Structure 1
Amino acid sequence: MENLENIKKYYLHEDDFSKLHFEVQDLKSYFEHNQAQASKAHIHGFYQLIWFTTAGIHYIDYEAINHQKNSLVFINTNQIHYFCPQAENEGMLIHFNDFFINQFNQELAQRFSLSIFNEIGQPYITAQNSEVDRIKILLKLIQEENEQTDPLQKEQLFFLLSGLLLSIERIKNQNKIDVLFKNRDFELAYAFKKEVYNHRGSFPSSEYYTQQLHTNTKKLTAVTKQYLGGTPAQIIKNIKVLEAKRKLGHKQLPIQSIAFDLGFDQPTYFTKYFKKITGITPKEFQAIIP
């Protein structure tokens, strides 16, 4: 097993609001310069967009994401991820946070958190034909604008980033009129998942959430199956295991403490629960974390 260590959390200028709170970098150069840190499990206090121009593997919440070339991967704030050292990792990397967008449009920040950075479904899109050309143009304009220093730079970057995110939104929703951020069923599924995260230290039954969300079991089950890929009980179980993995990544936290934090009365029950779902014990999982 590796030496005890915490998962590193990185910030984008943190509380220094005199900074731009936005950056764009060549992915290959970034990875080569930061390979030691980028190849280890870590989290960000900001959003991350990764444009992969080559096929490869990327890891999000300890799951291997096999992406094709011309894929855009979106990492939400506080999601655990890391790069595969054996992949080519070529493309472009964009970092930004809520502060950057909120300066110009708070509604867009909320919209993109719901339509793109929602941790629901596939965490990437693969662009095709004309979509690739459009994204490449937007990324080139963003890269060029990022090198400017005039007073309008921040505003220009905001509009260019918004255009890129709207293009991603369009591809994700396959040009449907009833886009996700206006779809009440999707909003219910999103609200359910958010509530489960908010109660990840206790994990009440699914009946509790139907009351909180002013719905019924049949409706909640229908929308979670459609958008989250399982019943409410299955989603609660999956999130419990995901939260356990995230906590186990902080190797200085005793497994007993993690068990209690997740609402288990006995650490032994937590170990059995975790192994039943993942096939390995919490200690064995910690041993394979990069």
Structure 2
Amino acid sequence: MKKYDLHKNDFAELHFELKTLEPYFQRNKEKATKPHRHSFFQILWFKERGNHYIDYNVVEHDVNTLFLINKNQVHYFCPDSSNSGYLLHFNDSFISNSSLDLLNRFELSIFNEIDSPNFSLDKKDAKIIDDLTYNLLVELEEKKLNHLQIITHELISLLYYIERIKQNSGSFNRSTKSGFSAVVTFKQAVFENVDKNYGVQDYSELVGSHLKS
């Protein structure tokens, strides 16, 4: 299965991109409509009803639906859907350069692959996310003084807001899920070593070592 990187080993790049989804999909249709994985995080905002393939299932989604794609998570775009909206993708370094604690937080709360990977936005939430997305697009286009710092701040604000929506919906609560971190760590270990012939004992040692560190 094909795996894609974002600005791999190119430290002159921003390691963050925001694209209008439909033209991006049309340019990359041949690759995007086949199952694939990324080494980076991805947020898809579908503004119209349609379908999207994730975790070996085709998910029928409503208007204004977010999909939160973790690193190494399998997905692809369904060619019969309009695929209109926005696409954000970023490497973990884009967040960890500001705060490793924030990266760990969002891996647990947003990109954990245990809760549902998608949810619909109400009109209020859609308006707020639209405003944040617009601000990011302006900064990326104009590249004025301190644009990198502002882009980082806006993305972190967006992630915090998504975390709030998920918690308000009842799909995630950091404080009430005992052992949640261990389960997430185990899943991350499996995906990172998917091409290796590891057994249960190997993963047990990996997860145990991570939790003790």
Distance 2:73 2:22 in 1: 22
Which is strand-richer, 1 or 2?
2
Show structure 2 runs of 5+ residues with no match: none
1:154 to 2:148 alignment = yes
**Deviation digits for residues 216-273 of structure 1 (CA, Å, limit 9, x no counterpart):** xxxxxxxxxxxxxxxxxxxxxxxxxxxxxxxxxxxxxxxxxxxxxxxxxxxxxxxxxx
Equivalent residue, structure 2, for 1:221: none
CA spacing shift, 1:181–1:110, aligned 2, 3 Å: farther
1:93 to 2:90 alignment = no
Write the letter of the residue equivalent to 2:130: K
The residue correspondences of 1:1-290 to structure 2 (distance < 5 A) are 7-174=1-168, 179-180=173-174, 183-194=177-188, 201-203=198-200
Mapped contact 1:51–1:92 kept (Cα < 8 A): yes
Write the letter of the residue equivalent to 1:48: Q
Distance 1:12 1:41 in 2: 17
Q: Offset at 1:192?
A: 4.8
2:135 aligns to what SS in structure 1? helix
1:180 aligns to what SS in structure 2? coil
Q: Offset at 1:189?
A: 3.5
Percent of aligned pairs sharing the same letter: 39
Show structure 1 runs of 5+ residues with no match: 1-6, 214-290
Matched length = 204
Mapped contact 1:125–1:171 kept (Cα < 8 A): no
Write the letter of the residue equivalent to 1:201: Y
Which is helix-richer, 1 or 2?
1
Mapped contact 1:49–1:94 kept (Cα < 8 A): yes
Distance 1:116 1:36 in 2: 28
2:168 aligns to what SS in structure 1? coil
Mapped contact 1:115–1:181 kept (Cα < 8 A): no
1:147 aligns to what SS in structure 2? helix
CA spacing shift, 1:41–1:195, aligned 2, 3 Å: closer
**Deviation digits for residues 109-162 of structure 1 (CA, Å, limit 9, x no counterpart):** 111111111111210121112111111111111111111223411111111111
Write the letter of the residue equivalent to 1:31: F
**Deviation digits for residues 19-45 of structure 1 (CA, Å, limit 9, x no counterpart):** 100011000110111111111111111
TM-score (normalizing by structure 2):
0.85
Distance 2:197 2:158 in 1: 33
Distance 1:109 1:188 in 2: 16
Distance 2:152 2:101 in 1: 14
CA spacing shift, 1:137–1:148, aligned 2, 3 Å: same
Distance 1:144 1:56 in 2: 28
Write the letter of the residue equivalent to 1:156: I
Distance 1:47 1:62 in 2: 18
RMSD (Å) for aligned C-alpha atoms:
2.7
Write the letter of the residue equivalent to 1:121: D
Distance 1:10 1:125 in 2: 25
1:99 aligns to what SS in structure 2? helix
Q: Which structure has the greater CA radius of gyration?
A: 1
Equivalent residue, structure 2, for 1:217: none
Distance 1:179 1:15 in 2: 35
Mapped contact 1:114–1:181 kept (Cα < 8 A): no
